[in-house]
Every structure is written in C-alpha cells, then in structure tokens.
Chains A and B, each alone.
Chain A
Amino acid sequence: MALARIDLPQQARRGELVEVRIVIQHPMETGFRRAPQGERVPRNAIHSLVCRYSGTEVFRATLSTGIAANPFLRFFLRATQSGDLVFWWLDDDEVQGSAKARLSVT
C-alpha cells in the first residue's frame, strides 16, 4: 500500500550536487486521534528511513509523529556514479516500504 514519489534529476554530472526529494503516502497516525465511534486510532508512524545510493548509505532518518502525514523529505547527495537510489522504511505496524529511482551520472 505504501506509495512513494521520488523526485531527483534524471541525469547529473560527476561530482555534482543532487537534490533528492521524496514523499511517502502514509497516515503517520499519532495515536491521539479518535475514530467516529470514539475508539482510539492506534499510533502508526514511519520510525526509520534509510536511503542507499549504489548500495552505500547516504541518508538515514528517525521520524516520529511530529512529522506530518505523507512525510516529505529533502536532502542532498554528491553524484559519483550511475546507480539506483533505494529508499527503505519501516513503520510501527512493522510494515516495510521501499521505493527506487535511477540516477544516471555522465
């Protein structure tokens, strides 16, 4: 169910600064909200996220309910070689998600 959109330039020159943006479709449920019937909606937020670029970790984040629903992240990396940018994350329900984008380096 987890859907994500990664936004990064399709091509970059070697050594160039690349801006990476990702939006993940996730409710980031706080655990304080009540459903219409009055019962508490249990907390479910993405708590860990890792980004690997050609197999090497380039970014890692620990998130909590203080991050808005459908979490958005933006960071920078240095283009070194053509490769896949692989995001992986885990939420409180132990549901994993991942997304992939290709970066071609010329």
Chain B
Amino acid sequence: MKRRDFIGSLAALAATPHVGTTDPLIWSFTKGMPVLPGRVKLELPALAENGYSVAMTVTVDSPMTPSEHVRAVHLIAEKNPVRDMAVFYLGAHCPRAEVSSRLRLNGSQQVVAIAELSDGSFWSGAAFVEVREAACTDGG
C-alpha cells in the first residue's frame, strides 16, 4: 500500500465517528456491515432540563418507494443502562421516513440513530444532548 492510500484510508475511518461496528449491540443487527454517517437527521434539544422526557425526531433521507425505502431505524443511547432505546420498523408503505418520540436519558450523552435501508446499507446520524438532571439513577 502506498503512503497516500494509507492516509486516504485513515481519512475514511475518521469520517465514521458515530458508532463502532464491532459493538455487540450494533453488530446484532448490522452483522458487521459498515455504518456510514449521513442521510439520517436526528433532532434533539441541545440542552434538556431533565432526562425524563426529551423530545426526539428522526428523519431519514429516502424516497420511500418499493425499490428504495427505509426498513428500520434503530435508536441507541451511549450512556443509558439499557442502550437499545427503540427500533421503528418502516417500509415502502410509509410515505415519509420520519418518526418522533420522547426519550428518557441517563445524563449528557450522544444519541445515535441507525437506519437500515432496503438495499441492505446502514446509515447513521447522531446528536449530543446535555442533560442537567439524569433520569434512571437517583430514584427516577
């Protein structure tokens, strides 16, 4: 391998910061497929007063046609005791790949959304939330 190629491959690695594909939780549905950053927009407030109920919207850039659509969206928390927060199963019958919910967050952390597309590729989007008062830990 040439030095230029090697440096190029390092840049490609640096472009995938959201999740590690060797993480057992990620591996359980990607089966080792690469998770590329992009196409997924995760909207969360930058600052949450408490972690009991944080509004979340995830949107995937997809035409939602029978040939090209989103199969599922996985929502993963970095620091919650239960890291797999939710999986939303969509399909070609869904006209828009957009789902909202409210999350419970155990402290400031990055939340990652991973979309599984009909062609078998995985895309991710992330958002960092600063949580002033965590849920879960102290009696809540």
Contacts and interface: CB of A to CB of B under 8 A. Distances in A.
Q: Considering residues B80, B84, B98, B101, which has the most beta carbons from chain A within 10 angstroms of its beta carbon?
A: B101
A67 B86 contact: yes
B19 to A, nearest CB: 16
Given A28-B104, A61-B86, A61-B89, A75 B139 contact: no
Nearest to A32: B136
Contacts of A72: 100-102
Contacts of B82: 30, 64-66
B75 to A, nearest CB: 7
Contacts of B27: none
A63 B82 CA distance: 11
Given A61-B88, A72-B102, A66 B94 contact: no
Given A33-B139, A33-B140, A17 B88 contact: no
Contacts of B39: none
A58 to B, nearest CB: 6
A60 B86 CA distance: 11
Contacts of B99: 61, 73-75
A75 B82 CA distance: 24
A68 interface: yes
A56 interface: yes
A64 B93 CA distance: 25
Given A32-B136, A33-B140, A61-B88, A67 B102 contact: yes
Contact of B93 (A28, A74, A77): A77
B137 interface: yes
A59 interface: yes
Interface in A24-76: 28, 30, 32-34, 56, 58-69, 71-76
B139 A66 contact: no
Interface of B: 52-54, 57, 75, 77, 80-90, 93-96, 98-105, 135-137, 139-140
Given A68-B103, A72-B101, 17 more contacts: A17-B95, A30-B81, A30-B104, A30-B135, A60-B89, A61-B99, A66-B84, A66-B103, A66-B105, A67-B103, A68-B101, A69-B104, A74-B100, A75-B88, A75-B100, A76-B95, A77-B93
24 contacts: A17-B95, A17-B96, A32-B81, A56-B93, A60-B88, A60-B89, A61-B87, A61-B89, A61-B99, A64-B82, A64-B85, A66-B80, A66-B85, A66-B86, A67-B85, A68-B54, A69-B52, A69-B104, A72-B100, A74-B99, A75-B98, A76-B95, A77-B95, A78-B95
